Amino acid sequence: MPKFRNYSTFKEASRDEISPALQGIEAFLNCRTIRIGSYRYTPKEKVHISVKGIKIVAPSLKNESKDVAIQIQFKEIVKILVHFGKGLPVIFLYTMNKCGIFIRKALDMVEESGLYYNPTSDEDPYKRITLLPEVITDETKAALKTLFHKAIDELNVKEANEILVRTCPKESNNVSKLTTKSMSASISSGPKSSNPAEIRQILIYPPGKGGIPINTEDYMCLAQDQFLNDVIIDFYLKYLVHDILTHIQREKTHIFSTFFYKRLTTKPSKVNRNSNPHEWDSSLTPAQKRHARVKTWTKNVNIFEKDFIVVPINENCHWFVAIICYASLDGCRSMIDNRTVTPQENKKKERRSSMQIGSTTITPLTKQEQLTLNCDSDNLSERDEAEAEDSDLDMQCDSDEEETEKQPEKKPEIPLIKKNDPIKQPCILIFDSLAGASRSRVVATLRDYLTCEYQAKISKSKIFNKDNMKGSCPKIPQQNNFTDCGLYLLQYVEQFFKDPVSDYTLPIKQLANWFDEIVVTRKREEISKLLKTLMHKYNPDSHLHLPDIKFPTLNGVLVETEEQQEDGADADNKGSTSLKIQKCDLKDADGPIIYVKQTSTGEMLVKRNFVDTSDTIHARKRMIRLTSDSENRSVMQIKPKV
């Protein structure tokens, strides 16, 4: 990576106003979200990029109604990292320290508030400015490369995701303070409410003891580009158990809270002999100390009577899930008749030939190791997890499809399973929407937990290890943006029971196309509707109006941005105009709606396909305007768009 540029002689007095130019290179970015350090907000104005620098407008932290124009001078920009992908464009700005001082003063930032920007900080969330544009057009891309050709570097999607995850503040599962305040302003609890911005409880689900309280702040995490918090994750997992799973599935499944793994792997901050005597007991192993922290979590359940144990995990603001399968089984069983079988193991060819140079041995990296990105967050080092080697976990990648060689055949005492017979076996499956990072320590920690829990529940000794409890990361659908990891976790669990794994022969290969991306994208809107339904069911007399938040879909159909709409119109204009268009009325027979957009006035714009008389060419897409009732989304009138 090129070195940062150094402009130590830059003077504050030279700060120029960045305004639209009559000539010269410039660009404007419509951003969904901007983070200035750990301060995250939804911008009202476009970011202006020119030969003078970059202008960003942000609300003051002291007075949110006051907008502040942040003029970042060209010479203050020492590095720009950018990913131009259409699915998830992102720009990371690194500035000089003097610019950081200027921004903190302009926005009234104080470090104690947690909303802070400091380019020289050792804390990842503080040291960069992050722009999440709706789209980066070819013109904007060219402008960035021309203006900042000495300071700009391109990132691939994995690198961009990795940096963005590290950019999140440690407590960023919740909406930022200012975002919460501004969004809560739309909350109304009826005419009797004395404080409309107050965070209000929506419902407790399920009602009664052990239910999860959900409030309006939790609800706002469902908005586009927001990370789901632990409350929404726990709520939906509990909803799956109570309302979606069959009775048999419910009886054979245990889902831990999102706090379980954190509690298992976190040493108490203030250890004392009275409240945490096990932490001081030198006779206990690290695994036993970890188990002691959560031993009461299963006082009313025997997890070894369950086929599936679901463990949601949050690591450095990234959600993924581990599912422990068939922990009570000894060995492999046939899915067909449950007989004990021995699967034919395939041993991969050794491709990592080492070479000796003097006293140094050099071993080539595998493709998977080359893809793995290091994360130096302090959060990871604070975890009390079991030691592990990457070989303890099957990391499925493209090389898994390569030719393998079979082990020498031996006459087994137990019949070998037929080649195509499906099996079930004890294993820990890791479902991660950002594949690449090693989860071997997670698997080793869960094996240790099972060992201690088995002793506590069954009163017998059984060591769970990589031989009798294998670990694997199946190849599964991956997220294509920076904030949907929680949604993918929920979909993985839901799909696991909706479309179960049919064969537990490792590596599991049938899940690469488990579900379509749109299934996850529409989940924010679906959970919102679910909460409203449950709120009216359990609190029919409630007059609480939930915040008006933006979703990526409308009635399950993807909403396109203004930029995407303009790009589509440009593409249509470039097509042939000589085609004869079939005339027809605006009826259902015109074809399905292929695009939906809700305007600020509550109208919906849709496109239908009109075909020529040959029925072979989808010619143009005519736009019609549907005026809809903003509450019920019902179509009231159809008229051609002028």
Q: Which of 394, 432, 448, 484 is catalytic?
A: 432
Q: Where are the alpha helices (DSSP H) in 108-245?
A: 138-147, 157-167, 177-184, 216-220, 230-239
**pLDDT tens-place string over residues 39-90:** 988 899 999 999 999 999 999 998 888 899 999 999 999 999 999 987 778 9
Percent of the chain whose pLDDT exceeds 70: 68
- Average pLDDT value for the chain: 77
CATH 2.30.29 residue spans of the chain: 12-169
Q: Residues 168, 291, 318, 332: which is the catalytic one?
A: 318
Q: What is the pLDDT of residues 492-525, one digit of tens each?
A: 999 999 999 999 999 999 999 999 999 999 999 9
Instruction: Kindly state the tokens that stand for 322.
Output: 């581990």
Output the pLDDT for position 537.
Answer: 93
Residue range(s) of every CATH 3.30.310.130 domain in the chain: 250-344+371-405+412-512
Note the pLDDT of residue 127: 93
Top-tier CATH class for 250-344+371-405+412-512: alpha beta
- Contacts of 364-368 with C-beta under 8 Å, sequence gap 24+, read 366/399, 367/397, 367/398, 367/399, 368/395, 368/397, 368/399, 368/436
pLDDT at residue 634 in the model: 33
Mean pLDDT along residues 435-449 = 92
Higher pLDDT, 388 or 237: 237
- Sequence-separated (6 or more) residues with CB below 8 Å from residue 543: 189, 190
φ, ψ at 623 (rounded to 5°): -95, 135
Nearest to 330 by CA among 322, 340, 320, 321: 340
C-alpha 92/C-alpha 148 separation (Å) is 13
Does residue 432 have an active-site annotation?
A: yes
Strand-pair category, 470-473 with 427-431: parallel
By CB atoms closer than 10 A (0-12, 13-18, 19+), residue 8 is exposed
Map tokens 């067909």 to a residue: 336
221 among known catalytic residues: no
| Verdict on whether the full-model pTM lies above 0.85 | no
CATH number of 12-169: 2.30.29
Question: For residue range 558-568, what is the model confidence (pLDDT) as tens digits?
Answer: 987 665 555 55
Q: Does the structure show a pLDDT above 70 at 371?
A: no
- Asked if residue 481 lies in contact with residue 487, where contact means CB atoms within 8 angstroms, the answer is no
pLDDT at residue 415 in the model: 56
The two tokens of residue 371 are: 């893809």
485 belongs to the catalytic site? yes
Least confident of 91-95, 182-186, 468-472: 182-186
Residue range 569-581: mean pLDDT, rounded: 46
Share of the chain above pLDDT 90, in %: 49
